[in-house]
Structure 1
Amino acid sequence: MARDIARLNFLRRALHWAGAIVVIGMVPAGLVFTDFDNRDSIEGAFGAGSFDALYNFHKSVGAVALALVAARLAAALIWPAPSHAGAIPAVQSAAARAMHVGLYALLVATPILGWAGTSAYPAPLPVFGLFDLPGIVAPNRPVAEFLLALHGTCAILLIALVVLHVAAALYHRNVRKDGVFARIALW
């Protein structure tokens, strides 16, 4: 039975869903559009120069993802989450906290590793053609390859946690019907 559980601040909910859209689109696209083995196929499908354009778009959206998570962390400091004590068992509450810590850690680490790896490559970091992000790591190809591999691994782990997070949200909404999902719903 649904309970009245206090909702998160509207800005926190909006930032959550904006970040969700970015991550759910970004990771699969990044796995395809940043793999140099796919260059010929991508340019065959989308035209000459499309691989670089899509790769640069991936970098731009990565910058947006990092800005969104920074905004989410700031919003969490300003508007802490209301308590859901008693609404869910303590073990579920602990699991939810661990899941959120893992998600936030990967939401921060993944774009920073991409930025650092691209800096070490060295390659430009354009943000929608408006400006370039500065390099944050000295040029070093072996370091770049390591950082970019770690970036990819973190992206896959992030998607795995997102799948678990979505499953838990659907469980609360459709099975337990305990009002937990309403805390983050936009409407």
Structure 2
Amino acid sequence: MPPTMNRQDSRVRAEEAFRLRAVGRTWAEISQTLGYRSRGAAQLAVRRLMDRTPPETAEQARAQATEGLRITKSVLFATLADAKLRGDSQAVVSAAKAIADMIEKDARLNGLHAPSRTEVDVNVNHDATAIINRMESELLALVATRPPQNAIGGTIIDAEVEEIAR
């Protein structure tokens, strides 16, 4: 059976079938809406389209999602302004939360929450003997600043005892 339409029209119809499937339409609905002979013919057209169409890169998907978020934020800002003019505080709060959610999604999508890489270089240039010598000198300096103590632990007081005549 010869083709009923040219290649360009066939591709446009397959793209429309793909879009309809993406929004939840059944293959039967798609085949009836777009004039395919059967559900299988609609499925085959979409499968062939997907085989011929290279997948988008991560950067292309990110740009497309970012643009969608930008449009959504724009609509939400208009909704926020309308709610403010009407004095509908509940709608203002709802729109503000939705806007904040869109901003958060956009930030995550574009890597603004990614941790920054920090490189720490730990080099120990001292050997154990040098550390012990330094600690010993610091302890001796500390002991030199303290007042002398007797064996019992009290401070030594230098004094003479004199008897007083009564």
Mark yes or no: TM-score above 0.5. no
* TM-score calculated relative to the size of structure 2: 0.30
* TM-score calculated relative to the size of structure 1: 0.27
Indicate the structure (1 or 2) with the bigger Cα radius of gyration.
Answer: 2
Q: Which has the higher helix share?
A: 1
